[in-house]
Amino acid sequence: MEDSSAVSPWRCRHALMSDEATVDERFDFADHSGKEWVGRQFVGCSFVECDLSELSTEGTTFTDCDFTGASLARSRHRSSAFRNCHFERTHLNKVEMADCSLVGSVITHSRVRPLTMIDCDMSLMSIGGLDMSGVVLRGCRLREANLTESILIGADLSGSDLTGIRAVGVKLGQANLRGARCDPLLWLQASVTDASVDPDQAMEFAVAHGLRIGGGES
């Protein structure tokens, strides 16, 4: 006979998550503007058309959440995470993030200027086709991110890790790339006219384009 007092492992895990995180809740069309969230966790939640403008978060985690049509304008985030989240037609203008993670998230058809991100992990993100002219992505990790056809004219990418990114059609004219780690393909696939680079990057660009460096007999 089954012991009715026994609690299944599944129910234990579910109870633990319920205590620690807000799971599968809908905040569609809600107004959370100007609020401060510290140490909160949201898993699989929907923030469709939600007003999150001027929101302040610290140590808050959003996992597999949907921000379609939401506004995070003028919000500030420190040591927070937006992992595998979906941003479509989302207002991200004047957002400031520091030491945050956006691994695996997708941003499409969204307003993202101006935007400041310092020391953030943007690995595996998809931000292709966005106009990100003038944004600050300083010291960020963008490993294997999809930047195809993105416009980053005048952007600050100094000190960032751009290895493995999809760079076909990316416009980096007048961008600050000094100190950034770049693959040879970036120098071949992206437009970098008038971009600021350091001497090592200038050498990488030359080699990628088949130039011979140094003296030698003619």
Domain range list for the chain: 20-111, 124-210
Residue 188 CA: distances (Å) to CA of 27, 88, 98, 125, 166: 44, 30, 31, 21, 12
CATH fold match for the domains 20-111 and 124-210: yes
Task: Reply yes or no on domain 124-210 having CATH 3.50.30.10.
Answer: no
Give the span between the Cα atoms of 135 and 155, in whole angstroms: 5
Class of domain 20-111: mainly beta
- Going residue by residue through the chain, which has 218 residues, state the pLDDT in tens, using 9 for 90 and above: 444 444 444 333 333 343 479 999 999 999 999 999 999 999 999 999 999 999 999 999 999 999 999 999 999 999 999 999 999 999 999 999 999 999 999 999 999 999 999 999 999 999 999 999 999 999 999 999 999 999 999 999 999 999 999 999 999 999 999 999 999 999 999 999 999 999 999 999 999 988 887 765 55
What's the predicted TM-score (pTM) here? 0.86
